[in-house]
Amino acid sequence: MKHRARRIVLAVAIVVLLGLAGLSLWGWQQFDAAGPAADEVTLVLPRGGGLGQIADQLAAAGVVRNRWLFIFDARLGPGHALKAGEYRFPAHATPRQVLSLLREGRTVVRHLTIPEGLTTVEILALLDDAPGLSGDRSPPAEGTLLPETYNYSWGDSRAGMMARMQKAMAETLAKLWASRAAGLPLATPEAAVTLASLVEKETALAAERPRVAGVFVNRLRLGMRLQSDPTVVYALTAGKGPLGRELTRADLEVPSPYNTYRIDGLPPGPIANPGRAAIAAALQPLASRELYFVADGSGGHAFASTLEEHNRNVTRWRKLQ
């Protein structure tokens, strides 16, 4: 009887082991089996979610076929920590690929492009509208944010993004200020940013920036008023957005410390956030005797060294209009 019982126990054990081996083989095969999603799937896995919650999200979105098998695979593999964030799972991703993405934290990299010449109010509107950014932000001073394309991940803070923009501007300005041309009528780096903001708003052509900067620098040296239309627009709008109409003669008389038709020298601060190229132009302006410029009808400007020449350019521009 004892021998018979032992044989039965042994047989049962063998059956169980074979069953477990078969189950393990099936599980291993499923680990590398194509997932059910026919298309790419993007999911945001929130912070603080447990393995079960993550498995539920993945199964509900069709990324994995079996939540229990996914949990089993996740617990067996090296390291159990799955990182939160936004993920883009390829079509038919295997459980192995899904776990690899989550363990390594290969989240979606988003991009926010800040164009040159926007005011701080306009940049803050872009930050507020950027998908995936969170939290509040305080408005920084005009001209302290560097226009660039910034990478970020879902859940990053708006305040953190703004701090990166401020740091980028400070580092860029320090580097360009150190290599500025000699004898500029700019006492501080902040004055350079103010001049650069005028250059940025006056021309969209990269080749013209040093030339426009040269005109303003020549006027500053001679004590001539800068008479820059964009400063009048800023005086009228406080940088909250475009004016939406042409400037009038009455606008040029508006009393404001930013109206360079009425004040001497630079305005008290920037009228926008200039890009690196505009700051470089302000600190390395083109050497010339030019004192005037006006639109030429082709997207650029006609420059002049004398008022007589400038008046001819203005007449030509008015005929084009």
Could you write out the DSSP letters of every residue in 110-177?
Answer: EEEE--TT--HHHHHHHHHHSTT-BS------TT-S--SEEEE-TT-BHHHHHHHHHHHHHHHHHHHH
pLDDT > 90? residue 232: yes
Beta bridge partners of 45: 85
Alpha carbon distance 16, 226 (integer Å): 91
Beta bridge partners of 118: none
Q: What is the pLDDT of residue 33?
A: 82
3-state percent helix, strand, coil for the chain, nearest multiple of 5? 50, 10, 45
pLDDT tens-digit readout, 13-72: 444 344 434 444 444 556 678 878 888 888 898 887 788 888 889 899 888 888 888 888
Q: What is the pLDDT of residue 69?
A: 87
Percent above pLDDT 90 for the chain: 62
Alpha carbon distance 201, 235 (integer Å): 14
Amino acid identity for residue 122 in this structure: E
Show me where the domains of the chain are located: 36-107, 110-167, 181-320
Q: Give the pLDDT mean for 125-153.
A: 95
Q: How many CA atoms lie within 13 A of 228 on its CB side?
A: 32
Alpha carbon distance 65, 82 (integer Å): 18
Secondary structure (DSSP) of 14-51? HHHHHHHHHHHHHHHHHHTSPPS-SS-EEEEE-TT--H
Q: How confident is the model at residue 125 (pLDDT cuts 50, 70, 90)?
A: very high
Closest C-alpha among 101, 77, 99 to residue 87: 101
The H or E element spanning position 278 is helix 276-283
Q: What is the pLDDT of residue 285?
A: 98
Percent above pLDDT 70 for the chain: 89
Contact indicator for 95, 64 with CB cutoff of 8 Å: yes
Beta bridge partners of 134: 157
Q: What is the dihedral of CA 171, 172, 178, 183, to 10 degrees?
A: -140
Contact indicator for 59, 66 with CB cutoff of 8 Å: yes
Q: What is the pLDDT of residue 17?
A: 42
Alpha carbon 263 to chain centroid distance?
35
DSSP assigned state of 208: G
pTM for the whole thing? 0.83
Phi/psi at 38 (5° precision): -80, -20
Beta bridge partners of 150: 112
Phi/psi at 274 (5° precision): -75, 155
Amino acid identity for residue 277 in this structure: A
CATH architecture of 36-107: 2-Layer Sandwich (3.30)
Alpha carbon distance 47, 188 (integer Å): 45
